[in-house]
Homo-oligomer: A and B are copies of this chain.
């Protein structure tokens, strides 16, 4: 569904958010360890997320990554996915046809329509804050 980069990106963002809620800024090493991702590759993805203003990065000693609590409620899954994978997952044609549209649909267009639409809505309405809550309460997990 999503690329590996995007999966790591979502996992990292959620982890950073949970830690920011506790007042902790977190470093790359900690993040990679906590979400079970390759460190150097994760660094690239965090860079991308920082450029897209999804997370905030601070250089130097005591530096690391963080997300303001106010922003957590505004940042949607869609923004992360869009920044890393683009929007073809919830916008593009199921059979990869560029010319596929409502007026000129591919054979599976209508079959995929509601699914893609539901996916788009979910990604656009889910914010990072709500995803931290289950983790905080120990109901959900980011590892393995």
Interface residues of A (CB under 8 A from B): 1-2, 4, 7, 10-11, 14, 77, 89, 92, 94-100, 104-109, 111-112, 114-115, 118-119, 122, 126, 131-132, 134-135, 139-144
The one of B98, B114, B143 in contact with A118, judged by C-beta atoms closer than 8 angstroms, is B114
Contact yes or no, A95 B143, CB < 8 A: no
* A14 CB contacts on chain B under 8 angstroms: 107
Number of copies: 2
Contact yes or no, A135 B107, CB < 8 A: yes
Residue picked from A4, A122, A135, most chain B C-beta under 10 Å? A122
The one of B4, B119, B134, B144 in contact with A107, judged by C-beta atoms closer than 8 angstroms, is B134
Contact yes or no, A106 B2, CB < 8 A: no
Contact yes or no, A95 B140, CB < 8 A: no
Please list 13 pairs of residues, one from A and one from B, whose beta carbons are closer than 8 Å in the complex, sorted by A's number: A2-B94, A14-B107, A99-B143, A99-B144, A104-B141, A106-B140, A107-B131, A107-B132, A107-B141, A107-B142, A108-B131, A112-B122, A115-B119
Contact yes or no, B95 A11, CB < 8 A: yes
Q: How far is the CB of A127 from chain B (nearest CB, A)?
A: 11
Q: How far is the CB of A66 from chain B (nearest CB, A)?
A: 18
Residue picked from A77, A99, A108, A132, most chain B C-beta under 10 Å? A108
